[in-house]
Amino acid sequence: MDLGETMLAIADIWRNGRRSVRDFAADRRALAATEFAVIVPVMLVMFFGTVEFSSAVAIDRKVTLIARTLSDLTSQSTTLVDSDMQNSFTASISIIMPYDATLVRGTISQIYIDANSIATVQWSKSGTIASGATQATLATSARKAGDKVTSTIPASLLMPKTYLVLSEVSYTYTPTVGYVLKSSIPLSDVSYTRPRQVSCVPYNGVPSSC
């Protein structure tokens, strides 16, 4: 092989080497694009899942606080009228902020446990806050005076000839994005307290005596 052929061979090897480097770089770009396409959905699931689950946990905790606050405020009263009840619902439901307060529904009931440990509702009232409102609106409760609720009360609280204040709070959590949690989640909690200053708490004169 003469000098000219040798130089041509070297030039051909050089061109092929450069082409191989370019091909390798292109392959790496394709690999990176593939990895990105695989990783991004996983990262989105992790991100939105964390946001949606953390919001649900935070709201669930607030629902518990609302239930406890509502029963606590009621049990500290000596007597109640509609304005008192409205204030209790307003103060309690406002705990849900900065989340949507219109999705909260609270119910407060007084229960009498007779000598046979039978629990009966004496009075019950519900409350909500409408959009843009600063005060709660009273509503009819699903529980009625005279309803027997013995089976729903823990056995340890069924002390004969005593009264219980029962608060029930519900909230329907709907994920803002809905990327991971696809449907609404009903959240709820209850709280029981004993009347603090009197044996029972009359509401609008019911009961007339304890």
> What's at 40, amino acid-wise?
V
Q: Which DSSP helix (H) or strand (E) runs through 176?
A: none
The torsion angle over the Cα atoms of residues 6, 10, 12 and 15, rounded to 10 degrees, is: -160
The radius of gyration of the chain from alpha carbons, rounded to an integer in Å, stands at 33
- Of 114-118, 177-181, 202-206, which gets the smallest average pLDDT? 177-181
- Of 45-49, 50-54, 147-151, which gets the smallest average pLDDT? 45-49
Mean pLDDT of the region 200-205: 96
Q: Does residue 98 lie in a domain region?
A: yes
Residue 189 has phi, psi (to 5 degrees) of -160, 160
Structural domain that includes position 65: 40-193
Residue 160 has phi, psi (to 5 degrees) of -55, 145
Q: Does residue 75 lie in a domain region?
A: yes
Mutual orientation of helices 82-93 and 3-75 as an angle, nearest 10°?
160
Q: Does residue 13 lie in a domain region?
A: no
Whether the per-residue pLDDT at 77 is higher than 70: the answer is: yes
Whether the per-residue pLDDT at 75 is higher than 50: the answer is: yes
| Burial class of residue 120, CB neighbours in 10 A (0-12, 13-18, 19+) | middle
Residue 24, pLDDT score: 47
Q: Does residue 208 lie in a domain region?
A: no
CA 119, 124, 127: angle at the middle one, nearest 5? 145
Q: Does residue 20 lie in a domain region?
A: no
Whole-angstrom Cα distance, residue 121 to residue 108? Answer: 11
Q: Does residue 22 lie in a domain region?
A: no
> What's at 86, amino acid-wise?
Q
Single pTM value for the model? 0.78
Whole-angstrom Cα distance, residue 210 to residue 206? Answer: 9
Band (7; pLDDT cuts 50, 70, 90): very low
CA 70 to chain centre: 17
Q: Does residue 209 lie in a domain region?
A: no
DSSP letters for 82-141: HHHHHHHHHHHHGGGTTS-GGGEEEEEEEEEE-TT--EEEEEEEEEE--TT-SS-EEE--
Residue 36, pLDDT score: 63
Count of domains for the chain:
1
Q: Does residue 10 lie in a domain region?
A: no
Whether the per-residue pLDDT at 25 is higher than 90: the answer is: no
Structure confidence by residue, pLDDT tens digits, 153-198: 999 999 999 999 999 999 999 887 766 677 889 999 999 999 999 9
Distance between first and last Cα of the chain: 120
